[in-house]
Structure 1
C-alpha cells in the first residue's frame, strides 16, 4: 500500500523533503531559546550584567525570527506537497478507472469510488501534511529536549523519561483499539454516499411516489451509523487527553519539588530549572502531537488501503503484444462461445453460441428479459471477454485487436442512454470530436433527432442539463443514436435503443439506416416485432442460447417463440409475451 501511495508524490518530492527540514530548523531554534533564557537569568540578572542581557536578548530575537521563518517555510512546503500529493492520487485513480473493463467496474460501487476520490483522499492529504510537519517536529523536539534535559540534570530528566515511556504505552494501546473503528467508518461513508446519489439521481421517482419520508429515514440511518462509529473510535482516543494532561502536571510538580531542593543544595541554578520546565512542556506537547499523528495515520491507513485497491486494480482487458490496428469489415462470427460474468460460476450466461453474420447485414435480436441479448452484443466490442470460444470481427479474434481501434469501428448505443452536461453539439461530438456542424446535422437527420432539435430556442447549441433531464426519453435515445452514427462505424449495435420512440419514428430510423449506411452491419435489439421483422435475419434468444436464427418468414414457420410473440403483438391470437413460456 505505502509503495503504491508514495509513488504518486512524483513532482512534489522536493517540497516533501524541504518541509521536515524546515520543521527541524524550527525545533533547533526553539531548543536554543531556553538555554539562552537560562543564561540571562544566571549570568545577566544575578550578575547584574545589562550588556549581557541585551546581547543575549538580541540573539533570542534573531533565533525566534529564524524559527518563525522556518515554521512558515514548513507550512508553505507542507501545504504544497500534501495538496499536490492529493491531486496525483485523484488523477491516478481516475486514470485507472478509465482503463477498467465492465467486469472491473462491477467490483466497485459508484458510491464507493466517489468516497475514495473525495473523503479518502482528503484523509490521506491531511495525514501526509501532518506527517511531513509534525512527524519530524514532534520526535525531534522531544529527543532534543530530552538530550538537553539530561545535559542540565540527569536526575530530573529521568522524570521525563519515565513519563514518555508511560504515555507511549498508553498511545499504542489506545490506537490499536481505535483503528478497527476507523476502518469500518469509511465503509459506512460508502453507504451514505450511495443513499445521496440514489436519491438525487432518482428524485423525480421519489416525489412521484411520495417517498421523501422514507428517503429521509434512510439517510438518517446511514448518517447515524457513521456517527456511532466515530463516537466509538473517539471514546477510545478521548482518554489520552486527561492522561497526558495529568502526566504533564505531575512532571511539573515533581521537577519543581526536586528542583527547588537542588537549588537550595547548590546542585542546580534557577535558570536551569526554568529551562527544565520549558523542556518538560516541549517533551509532553510533542507526545500529544504524536498521539494526534497516530490518530490521523490510523484513519489514513484505512483510507490508503481503499485508494491503493483502485490504483492497483489491473484491467481485465488489455491489448495484445502486437495488436491489429485495422478492422477489415463488419462481419461477425461466434464460434462455440460460452460466457459468464463470474468466472467461477458453474452456469454460464451464454451457452454454446454459434453465429455467422455477413458484413452489411441488418440483424434483429429478440428475446425475453434475462435471455442474455445485451450480454451477446457486449462481446462484439470486447466490453467483456468470452469464457470459452471465439468472437471474430472482420475474420479476426476481437482479443487480437487494439481495443481503441475495435471500439471505434463497433459503435454501441447501450440500453441506458446517457447524455453529458454541455450543448447538443458537444454531446454529438463524443462520437467524433472533429465532426463539423453539417456532419452532426446529417447524423441527427438519420436518427430523426433534427425535428425536435430545430424546435428548441437555441437549436444545436441548446444546453443539455446533467443526465439529459431536460429532454424526453425518446429524444435522449435519438441523440445517442446520432452520436453513435458520427463514428461512421463498420458495426452499429442498438441495444433496445428505440424503446421510447413511437413506431412511426422507429420505422423512419430503420429506413434511414437501410438507405444511408447499407455497408454497416446493424444489430438491433428490440422487444417489438415491428422493429426487427424487416431485418435481413433475426436471432431469437432464450435462456442464454440461440433458439432460432433466420428471416421473419422462416421464423414464423419454424420457431414457436417467435410465432407466438408475433401473433400476440399483431393481435392475431393469444396473449403471449417474451417473458412467458409458450403454450
Structure 2
C-alpha cells in the first residue's frame, strides 16, 4: 500500500489542505464539550442567562465552522482519491500497451481488466477513507485523551481497560481478513474471465447448446465469490457489535464512577458531561481506525496486484541508440533464427534462415503447428528471438525502435480485429490522415468496395464491437484494406485469405500484385492456391525449413509440399 503513496505526489497541495482542515475542524469539535461544561457548571449553577446565551452562541459558531471544514475535507479528499484513480488507470493502460505478448499472456486479459477497474477502485476508496478517517481519528483520539485526562485523570483509568480490548479485536479481525481479501480478488478475476469468455463466445455457446453448462460454470464461480464475501461480512458483522458493547460498557463505567466522584465532591456535573463526550469521541475515533485497519488489508491486496503489473517490465525494449538503415526498401532477412515460447521444452522455430525481397512475394506454408504465424509475429517484435537475427534493410530489428519498425509494416492478423466505430475510422487505424480517396482505393484493392457501398452510409457505416455485424470474409477484407491504406514497405499477411472464396481470393491477390509491386510481401497461408503464384515459397515442417522454391520447383522436388498439394486436391475432389 505504501507503494501507492508515491502516486499521490501531484496532489500534495490538496492533501495539505485535508490535514489542515481536519485539524481545525477537530479543534473546534474538541472545544465544544468544554463550552458545554462551562454552561452547566457556571451558567446554570449561577443562573447566568447572558453567560449561557453567549457561550451557546460560541458553540453554534464553532459547530458551523466544524461542519464547513468537514465539507472542505470531503471535497479535497474526493479530488485526491478520484484523481488518483484516473491517473492509476491511465498508467496501467499505457504500461500494459507496452507489454510484449509474453507479459500480456502471463497476466491474461480478464485479470488485467479486473486490476484496472476493480483493484483501482478498492485502492481509490481506501485513499478517500484514509484522508477523512486516518487524519481525523488519530487527532481526535490524541486530543480527546489529553482533554479527558485534564478533566479527571482518575476517571481516565477506565480507558486503560477498554483500549487494549479494542486493539486486540482489531488485530484479530485484520489478521483473519487479509487471506479472505486476497482470495476475493482472485475470485473476481475468475468471475471476469468466465463472463468475458461467455460474452465473446456467445455464438459458439449457443451453436453447441452449452448455455446450461455455462450457466452452471458461472454459478459455481459466482457462488464461490459470494461465499468468500459472506465470510468477510461475518467478520465485520461480528466486530462492530463487540466494539459497540465495549463502548457502551465504557460509558456506563464512566457514568458509574463519575457519579461516585460527584457524590464525593471531587467532580462537577458539567465536567462529567464533558468527560462522557470526550470518551465518546475517543471510542468513535477507535471505531473509525478499526474500519480503516479492516479496509487497508483489502487495499494492500489490490495495491500488490497493481504493483505486479506496474513493476513488470517488457522483455522487448527499444535500443538506447537507434541504428538508421542506409536505404528504406523493405528487405527482410532471417539468420539462423530459433524461438520458443516461455516454458516450452522444444523450440517452435529452429535454425530458420531466408530472405524476402522488395517487389517479390514470399509465401510460407506448412501443416498446422509448424510455426508459420509465430515466424510472422517475430518481424514486428511481438516476441524476441531466442537466438539468431532478423534484419530489415541490413539492420537488426533489435537496433530499431519499435515505433519505427512497425511504421514500416502493414500487418494483417490471422483473426481480423476490428473496433467499434465507422468503417473509415477502422481503416484510418492504418493511417490517421488517410483521405477518402485513399480509403476507397484500399477498399477497391481489398475487394471490399461492393459490400461497403451497399451499406446506407458507406464508409461512415457503424461497426459494432469486434465487427460483429459483418461476416468473416467482410471483416478479413476490411482488415486487409486497413493495411493497404498505410502503404508500408513490408506487408505481413497471416493466413488473411482463409475466409475468402477462391474467386475473391484470386481477384484480391491479382489486385495486390499491382498495388504492392514495390513492397515486400510475406504471406502465411494454408491453401496452396493462395501461394502458388509467389516468387518464393518456404515450406515449414515442425519449426524447420523443409524446402524453398517456386510452386513448380517444390512440386517436382519437395515431398512435404507434394503431400500438402495432394491432400488439398483430394479434399477438393471429394468435396
TM-score scaled by structure 1? 0.96
What is the distance in 1 between the residues matched to 2:570 and 2:346?
Answer: 37
Kindly state the Cα deviation for residue 346 of structure 1 after the two structures are TM-superposed.
4.0
In the other structure, the counterpart of 2:367 is: 368
Query: Does residue 8 of structure 2 align to residue 2 of structure 1?
Result: no
- What does residue 339 of structure 2 align with? 339
Whether the 8 Å contact between 2:491 and 2:522 is mirrored in structure 1 is: yes
- Once residues 163 and 202 of structure 1 are traced to their aligned partners in structure 2, the CA distance between those partners, rounded to angstroms, is 57
- Equivalence for 1:474: 473
Q: Confirm or deny: 8 A CA contact 1:431 1:487 kept in the other structure.
A: yes
Alpha-carbon shift at residue 548 of structure 1 (Å): 1.0
Q: CA offset at residue 357 of structure 1?
A: 2.2
Q: Give 1:578's aligned residue.
A: none
Alpha-carbon deviation of 1:410? 1.6
Is the 8 Å Cα contact of residues 489 and 520 (structure 1) preserved in structure 2? yes
Distance 1:105 1:129 in 2: 31
Once the two structures are superposed, residues 222-248 of structure 1 have per-residue CA deviations (whole angstroms, 9 ceiling, x without a partner) of 111111111222323332212211111
Q: How does 1:371-450 map to 2 (within 5 A)?
A: 371-450=370-449
Cα distance in 1 between the residues matched to 2:299 and 2:185: 10
Deviates more, 1:84-93 or 1:248-257: 248-257
Separation in structure 2 between the aligned mates of residue 158 and residue 430 of structure 1, nearest angstrom: 72
Name the CA distance, whole Å, in 2 between partners of 1:414 and 1:262: 85
Aligned equivalents of 1:51, 1:113: Cα separation in 2: 66
Give 2:221's aligned residue.
222
Rounded to whole Å, the distance in 1 between the matches of 2:172 and 2:552 is 78
Alignment of 1:95-134 (within 5 A): 95-134=94-133
TM alignment of 1:477-556, pairs within 5 A: 477-556=476-555
* Number of the residue aligned with 1:464: 463
Deviations 1:310-360 (A, max 9, x none): 122212111111113556222111111111121x64421111111122222
Runs of 4+ more than 6 Å apart: 572-575
Q: Render the CA deviation track for 1:256-291: whole Å, top value 9, x for unaligned.
A: 111111101110000000011111111111111111
C-alpha separation in 2, matches of 1:313 and 1:471: 37
What is the CA distance between 1:574 and its match in structure 2? 10
- Counterparts of 2:95 and 2:60, CA distance in 1: 52
The SS at the match of 2:391 is strand
Deviations 1:377-421 (A, max 9, x none): 111111111101111111110101111111111221111111111
Shift of residue 162 of structure 1? 2.7
Match of 1:266 in 2: 265
SS, match of residue 100 in structure 1: coil
Q: Distance in 2 between matches of 1:258 and 1:107?
A: 63
CA shift in 2, pair 1:28/1:573, >3 Å = closer
Structure 1 CA distance, aligned partners of 2:401 and 2:454? 41
8 Å contact kept, 2:173–2:294: no
* Mapped partners of 2:462, 2:29: distance in 1: 59
**Are 2:14 and 1:15 equivalent residues in the alignment?**
yes
- Deviation per residue, 1:476-500 (Å, 9 max, x gap): 0000001011111111011011100
Work out whether residues 356 and 522 of structure 2, in 8 Å CA contact, stay in contact via their aligned partners in 1: no
- Does the 8 A contact of 2:140 with 2:281 survive in 1? yes
Normalising by structure 2, we get a TM-score of: 0.97
Q: Is the 8 A contact 2:188 2:225 kept in 1?
A: yes
Greater mean deviation of Cα atoms: 309-318 or 267-276: 309-318
Which residue number corresponds to residue 579 of structure 1? none
Question: Alpha-carbon deviations, 1:172-197, whole Å to 9, x = none?
Answer: 12101111110110000011111111
Q: How many residues align?
A: 574
Equivalents in 2 of 1:108, 1:498: separation in Å? 31
The residue matched to 1:155 in structure 2 has which SS?
Answer: coil
User: Matches of residues 223-302 of structure 1 in structure 2 within 5 Å?
Assistant: 223-302=222-301
SS in 2 for 1:336: strand
- Structure 1 partner of 2:42: 43
In 1, Cα distance between equivalents of 2:553 and 2:406: 33
CA–CA separation in structure 2 for the residues paired with 1:572 and 1:103: 37
Q: Which has the higher mean CA deviation after the structures are superposed, 124-133 or 16-25?
A: 16-25
Q: Please tell me whether residue 85 in structure 1 is matched to residue 81 in structure 2.
A: no
1:32 positional shift: 0.4
Q: Contact (CA 8 Å) 1:567, 1:573: kept in 2 or not? A: no
2:143 maps to what in 1?
A: 144
Contact 1:319 1:402 in 2 (8 A): yes
Deviations 1:15-35 (A, max 9, x none): 222123222222111110000
**Is 240-249 or 399-408 further displaced after alignment?**
240-249
Q: CA shift at 1:149, angstroms? A: 0.7
Task: State the alpha-carbon separation in 2 of the partners of residues 573 and 69 from structure 1.
Answer: 81
Structure 2 counterparts to residues 58-77 of structure 1, below 5 A: 58-77=57-76
Runs of 5+ in structure 1 lacking a partner?
A: 576-583
1:580 corresponding residue in structure 2: none
Cα RMSD (Å): 1.6
Distance (whole Å) between structure 1 residues aligned to residue 255 and residue 305 of structure 2: 49
- The CA distance in 2 between the partners of 1:77 and 1:104, in whole Å, is 37
- Partner Cα distance (1:572, 1:146) in 2: 88
Is residue 304 of structure 2 the alignment partner of residue 314 of structure 1? no
The answer as to whether partners of 1:146 and 1:160 remain within 8 angstroms in 2 is: no
2:35 is the alignment partner of 1:30: no
Q: Secondary structure at the match of 2:154?
A: helix
